[in-house]
Amino acid sequence: MKWDIIKTNAQYIETLKRVILIMDAKAGSAESKEREELLVLLTKYEKKYIVLPEPDLMHS
- 56 vs 60: CA distance, rounded Å: 7
19-60 confidence digits (pLDDT tens): 999 999 999 999 999 999 999 999 999 999 998 888 888 876
Q: Phi/psi class of residue 46: alpha, beta or left (left: φ > 0; alpha: ψ in -120 to 50)?
A: alpha
pLDDT score for 4: 86
Count of CA atoms in the C-beta half-sphere (13 A) of 8: 3
- 24 vs 49: CA distance, rounded Å: 27
Give domain limits for the chain.
20-47
Are 49 and 11 within 8 A, CB to CB? no
